[in-house]
Amino acid sequence: MTPQVPSTAGLCATCAHARAVVTPRSRFLLCEKSREDAQFARYPRLPVIACAGYEPRAQGPSDTSREPGEGSTEK
């Protein structure tokens, strides 16, 4: 199972280059862009609010902000 990038990561939360790394004691966000370009930090300081390497993921972020009862179609 692939760990989710936390929504508090700023741009990284929806970036195609972000990968969550989970250890027994901590959780990191790894920027895969750093492998090909040294200007990007391997473990960027979060939240990232501006980034030249940002590319949105093909699929949207998971929406965990829905309020209870939202989306009900009962009459």
Residues in contact with ligand SF4 by CB under 6 A are 11-12, 15, 17-18, 31, 33, 40, 44, 48, 51, 53-54
Nearest residue (CB) to ligand SF4, 17 versus 21: 17
Give the C-alpha distances (Å, rounded to integers) separating 27 from 2, 37, 39, 55, 60: 13, 23, 22, 22, 22
Environment class of 19 (CB within 10 Å of its CB; exposed 0-12, middle 13-18, buried 19+)? middle
| Cβ 51 to ligand SF4 shortest distance, Å | 3
Nearest residue (CB) to ligand SF4, 28 versus 51: 51
